[in-house]
């Protein structure tokens, strides 16, 4: 097997302990990947530092050509990447395809923004004071560390790599220990495109490798996606250097269904919101709030639809939902199911693991869950939905906003004025109105409260890797 580390333009084996990589549908090891040692992380950061002056002084137009190359190569490797995500993540085919398309769209979009950068440089800034002129430059922040989780490996990494490269930053990416093979493609493409050595470095590894990267003094910025608990640790290490940080963390997002909703449509969006990727989504809308007048009818349809959901190995059959991506996550979800039994929660459907091999859990719904329940408050990261009824809009909003997180929300109502009013009052970073969770590269991504700091995607995603410098001149 090819080495998993790409440092300074070379493929090397990790010096650290081997990490088993699994096929979660079978619960079997599919590869062993040695982790990068702290010394190798240091070599990667140094390589990125050496590559920085050359890369950031290239024109935006030239960097755009490289980014287009990434999009083109991802497309060329389409079938292999879809198969790898199905095997290593347990994603159904249609989900693996969508992730790949999303990653391609991200590189294309930031190629467009990189190409516009040259014309945006040195724009005059209108001043009220006479006798002075000022203009603005957008400069690359420098060497950035990127740390990502396993649930959408191609996409989450693309959301960081593409804007960082577009801005002129050089980088060290640490993929998750659960899916270290998938992001190797970015090293392979960098290699194939002849990206200058050291611009993009990959270090495989688990928390120890992540800590070595996040604590490294040679970074100018860290962008982290993962759990809130690890985000807090990463934030503490950045504080030591006063360096900028983007944090994309967890969620416990609400989906609000008003009395005028189309029930079949609502069921479709509710299921998409907590069963897509087997519920392993930061944006899972795992708290269902339903108007009391339609609650029973909605629950009946939801139960039937969930019982009909096809759960299984995506490589063996066409499925709607695959396994949890790793055994640790499967155990976590099973612990929450046990907690629900201990709390005496009312289970509408599911509530148990499915027979192996593999790490499967039945789609699960608990009804009329008290707000004091851990299942109502904590991110479960599996196909588990908690439901409550509301009697009016004010109560729905109060329940929705009563959370330590603030990533996303979905509002379902035939009354668009009401939907917009509710959306405006929700304390989150993104609201879908009568929609599946469609994420477009042109719109922003990020949350409030415990869901993180900063925004990815759109022009905000590029700005996250830029430093702004103003030049002010006395005209005499």
Separation of alpha carbons 132 and 404, rounded Å: 47
Q: Nearer to ligand NAD by C-beta: 206 or 334? A: 206
Residue 149 interacts with ligand NAD (CB under 6 A): yes or no: yes
Q: Are 220 and 141 in contact (CB under 8 A)?
A: yes
Residue 404 interacts with ligand NAD (CB under 6 A): yes or no: no
Question: Shortest gap between Cβ of 240 and ligand NAD (angstroms)?
Answer: 13
What are the residues whose beta carbons fall under 8 Å from the beta carbon of 253, sequence distance 6 or more?
A: 273, 283, 284, 285, 286, 287, 405, 407, 408, 409, 410, 428
Closest CA to 270 of 292, 255, 252, 289: 255
Residue 216 interacts with ligand NAD (CB under 6 A): yes or no: no
Size of interface with ligand NAD, in residues (CB under 6 A): 30
Residue 347 three-state SS: strand
Residue 379 interacts with ligand NAD (CB under 6 A): yes or no: yes
Question: Shortest gap between Cβ of 177 and ligand NAD (angstroms)?
Answer: 5
Residue 106 three-state SS: helix
Q: Nearer to ligand NAD by C-beta: 140 or 148? A: 148
Q: Nearer to ligand NAD by C-beta: 438 or 475? A: 438
Closest CA to 267 of 246, 293, 295: 295
Residue 156 interacts with ligand NAD (CB under 6 A): yes or no: yes
CA-based torsion, 273, 440, 406, 339: positive or negative: positive
* Annotated catalytic residue 248: yes
Pick from 230, 286, 403, 466: which binds ligand NAD (CB under 6 A)? 230
Pick from 92, 180, 198, 251: which binds ligand NAD (CB under 6 A)? 251
Pick from 69, 163, 210, 273: which binds ligand NAD (CB under 6 A)? 210
Q: Nearer to ligand NAD by C-beta: 48 or 267? A: 48
Pick from 68, 179, 225, 253: which binds ligand NAD (CB under 6 A)? 225
Q: Are 182 and 153 in contact (CB under 8 A)?
A: yes
Single out the catalytic residue among 95, 177, 183, 248.
248
Separation of alpha carbons 201 and 457, rounded Å: 22
By beta-carbon distance, which residue lies closest to ligand NAD? 210
Residue 449 interacts with ligand NAD (CB under 6 A): yes or no: no
Q: Nearer to ligand NAD by C-beta: 64 or 247? A: 247
* Residue with the two structure tokens 């939905």: 385
CA distances from 454 to 105, 157, 237, 450 (A): 21, 16, 17, 12
Q: Nearer to ligand NAD by C-beta: 89 or 413? A: 89
Residue 454 interacts with ligand NAD (CB under 6 A): yes or no: no
| DSSP per-residue string spanning 34-103 | EPPPHHHHHHHHHHHHHHHHHHHHS-HHHHHHHHHHHHHHHHHTHHHHHHHHHHHH---HHHHHHHHHHH
Pick from 211, 299, 399, 412: which binds ligand NAD (CB under 6 A)? 211
Pick from 30, 61, 83, 206: which binds ligand NAD (CB under 6 A)? 206
Phi, psi of 418 (to 5 degrees): -65, -45
Separation of alpha carbons 353 and 334, rounded Å: 7
One character per residue 261-290, x = contact with ligand NAD (rule: CB under 6 A): ---------------------x--------
Closest CA to 349 of 385, 376, 296, 373: 385
Residue 150 interacts with ligand NAD (CB under 6 A): yes or no: yes
Question: Shortest gap between Cβ of 446 and ligand NAD (angstroms)?
Answer: 7
Which residue numbers are catalytic?
Answer: 248
Residues at the interface with ligand NAD (CB under 6 A): 147-151, 156, 174, 176-177, 206-207, 210-211, 214, 225-227, 230, 233-234, 248-251, 282, 379, 381, 407, 451-452
């Amino acid at each position: 097997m090819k080495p998993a580390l790409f440092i300074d333009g070379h493929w090397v084996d990790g010096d650290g302990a081997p990490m088993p990589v699994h096929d979660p549908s079978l619960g079997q090891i599919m590869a062993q990947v040695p982790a990068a040692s702290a010394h190798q992380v240091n070599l990667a950061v140094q390589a990125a530092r050496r590559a920085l002056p050359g890369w950031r002084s290239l024109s935006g137009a030239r960097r755009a050509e490289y980014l287009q190359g990434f999009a083109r190569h991802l497309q060329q490797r389409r079938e292999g990447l879809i198969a790898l995500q199905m095997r290593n993540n347990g994603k159904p085919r249609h989900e693996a395809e969508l992730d790949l398309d999303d990653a391609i769209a991200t590189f294309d979009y930031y190629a467009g923004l990189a190409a516009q950068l040259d014309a945006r440089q040195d724009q005059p800034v209108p001043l009220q004071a006479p006798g002075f002129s000022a203009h603005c430059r957008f400069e690359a922040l420098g060497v950035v560390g990127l740390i990502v989780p396993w649930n959408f490996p191609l996409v989450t990494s693309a959301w960081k790599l593409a804007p960082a490269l577009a801005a002129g930053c050089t980088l060290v990416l640490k993929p998750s220990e659960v899916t270290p093979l998938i992001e190797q493609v970015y090293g392979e493409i960098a290699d194939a495109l002849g990206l200058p050595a050291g611009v993009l470095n990959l270090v495989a590894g688990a928390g120890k490798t992540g800590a070595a990267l996040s604590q490294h003094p040679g970074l100018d910025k860290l962008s982290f996606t993962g759990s809130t608990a690890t985000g807090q640790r990463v934030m503490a290490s950045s504080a030591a250097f006063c360096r900028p940080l983007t944090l994309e963390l967890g969620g416990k997002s609400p989906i609000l269904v008003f009395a005028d909703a189309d029930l079949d449509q609502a069921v479709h969006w509710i299921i998409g919101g907590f069963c897509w990727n087997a519920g392993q989504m930061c944006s899972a809308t795992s708290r269902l709030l339903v108007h009391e007048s339609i609650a029973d009818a909605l629950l009946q349809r939801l139960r039937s639809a969930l019982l009909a959901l096809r759960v299984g190995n995506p490589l063996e059959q066409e499925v709607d939902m695959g396994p949890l991506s790793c055994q640790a996550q499967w155990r976590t979800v099973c612990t929450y199911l046990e907690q629900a039994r201990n709390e005496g929660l009312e289970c509408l459907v599911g509530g148990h693991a499915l027979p192996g091999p593999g790490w499967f859990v039945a789609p699960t719904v608990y009804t009329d869950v008290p707000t004091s329940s851990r299942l109502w408050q904590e991110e479960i990261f599996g196909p588990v939905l908690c439901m409550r009824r509301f009697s009016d809009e004010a109560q729905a909003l109060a329940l929705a906003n009563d959370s330590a997180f603030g990533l996303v929300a979905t509002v379902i109502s035939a009354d668009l004025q009401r939907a917009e009013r509710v959306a405006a009052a929700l304390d989150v970073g993104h609201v879908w109105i009568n929609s599946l969770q469609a994420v477009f590269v042109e719109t922003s991504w990020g949350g409030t409260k415990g869901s993180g700091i900063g925004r990815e995607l759109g022009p905000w995603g590029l700005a996250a890797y830029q430093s702004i410098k103003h030049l002010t001149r006395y005209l005499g």
